[in-house]
């Protein structure tokens, strides 16, 4: 039986000006998946309207000015781009999170009615904020509206050799969580079979495609330093990059991209057969 055909939109929901790769500011690549029976599914949210309106309160002084300095353009919020596509915010019934870092969850409060799917370890790390690093990256304000979290740790049948969490509540089997720990304790990729091949949103598992898309790992120094600074478990992060490198080499048909690379985002938009959107 042919797989269900989902339309996938590649949204860019942040412009992180201070962190650049090959001269370009980092973006925040989120997916909007149109499913026939389960409404709209958003994968990561990027920065939301509250963040863009009041970055210092929401994101903190250091993220706002020192190491990220995001562009304050309200048109970058996912909710704006979703409305521009002709949908209502309520049409987003599910949000699947790669992890709960501040630059990925800012848009959650724009979709308070959505169920939010996340790995159990990540939700626990974000709620308990046990370390100095955790206190900076996880911002309780982002979930002060009380999201309807659904947390998972039970793995099902593997996905191309990777552990996989399948059967997310209310979601079709073509959308699954793929644990890629290291950047954070419960960091996952999100795999989507849109009907014309698999996509893997690898979140912050890497920032520079050369980390996984060529035989010898290379990484631009700025994003390399940043990743080392914010990683939770270095050995797991590098191990998972090795597994992604092997996946890419053995299955070049799987379209892998990370959350922040502007070149991969452009490539995904170029090669996607779905309609795309840019801020109006």
Contacts of 124 (CB under 8 A, 6+ apart): 151, 185, 186
Contacts of 54 (CB under 8 A, 6+ apart): none
Considering only 91, 110, 122, 204, the residue that binds Zn ion (CB under 5 A) is 204
For residue 189, the cross-strand partners are 178
Which range binds Zn ion by CB under 5 A, 7-15, 52-60, 70-78, 101-109?
101-109
Q: Which is nearer to Zn ion, 231 or 274 (CB)?
A: 231
Instruction: Give the integer Cα–Cα distance in Å for 93 and 108.
Output: 12
Q: Which is nearer to Zn ion, 30 or 41 (CB)?
A: 30
Considering only 34, 103, 110, 211, the residue that binds Zn ion (CB under 5 A) is 103
Which range binds Zn ion by CB under 5 A, 48-56, 71-79, 146-154, 200-208?
200-208
Shortest distance in whole angstroms from residue 59 CB to Zn ion? 12
If binding means CB under 5 A, how many residues of this protein chain bind Zn ion? 2
Q: Which is nearer to Zn ion, 3 or 19 (CB)?
A: 19
Site for Zn ion in 152-191 (CB under 5 A): none
- Count CB atoms within 10 A of the CB of residue 117: 27
Look up residue 25 and give its two tokens: 């500011």
Shortest distance in whole angstroms from residue 173 CB to Zn ion? 27
Contact 29, 259 (CB under 8 A): yes
Shortest distance in whole angstroms from residue 206 CB to Zn ion? 11
Largest CA distance in the chain: 52
Contact 15, 27 (CB under 8 A): yes
Shortest distance in whole angstroms from residue 186 CB to Zn ion? 14
- The binding track of 60-99 with respect to Zn ion, each residue x by CB under 5 A or -, is ----------------------------------------
Give the three-class secondary structure for 255: strand
Half-sphere exposure of 104 (CA within 13 A, CB side): 30
Contact 49, 116 (CB under 8 A): no
Residue 208 binds Zn ion (CB under 5 A): no
Q: Which is nearer to Zn ion, 34 or 103 (CB)?
A: 103
Contact 69, 18 (CB under 8 A): yes
Which range binds Zn ion by CB under 5 A, 112-120, 146-154, 198-206, 268-276?
198-206
Footprint of Zn ion (CB under 5 A): 103, 204
């Amino acid at each position: 039986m042919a797989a269900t055909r989902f339309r996938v939109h590649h949204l860019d929901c942040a412009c992180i000006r201070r962190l650049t790769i090959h001269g370009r500011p980092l973006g925040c690549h989120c997916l909007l998946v149109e499913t026939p029976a389960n409404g709209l599914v958003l994968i990561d949210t990027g920065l939301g309207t509250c963040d863009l309106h009041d970055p210092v309160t929401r994101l903190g002084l250091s993220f706002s000015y020192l190491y990220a300095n995001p562009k304050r353009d309200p048109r970058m919020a996912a909710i704006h781009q979703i409305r521009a596509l002709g949908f209502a915010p309520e049409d987003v019934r599910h949000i699947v999170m790669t992890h709960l870092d501040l630059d990925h969850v800012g848009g959650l409060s724009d979709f308070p009615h959505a169920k939010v799917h996340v790995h159990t370890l990540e939700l626990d790390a974000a709620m308990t904020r046990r370390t100095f690093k955790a206190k900076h990256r996880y911002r309780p304000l982002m979930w002060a509206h009380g999201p309807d979290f659904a947390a998972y740790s039970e793995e099902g049948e593997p996905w191309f050799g990777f552990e996989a969490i399948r059967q997310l509540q209310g979601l079709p089997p073509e959308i699954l969580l793929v644990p890629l720990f290291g950047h954070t304790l419960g960091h996952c990729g999100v795999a989507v079979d849109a009907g014309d091949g698999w996509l893997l949103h690898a979140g912050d598992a890497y920032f520079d495609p050369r980390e996984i898309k060529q035989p010898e790992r290379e990484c631009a120094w700025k994003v390399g330093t940043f990743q080392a600074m914010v990683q939770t478990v270095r050995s797991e992060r590098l191990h998972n990059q090795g597994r992604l490198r092997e996946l890419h080499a053995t299955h070049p048909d799987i379209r892998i991209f990370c959350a922040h690379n502007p070149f991969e985002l452009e490539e995904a938009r170029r090669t996607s057969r779905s309609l795309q959107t840019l801020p109006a």
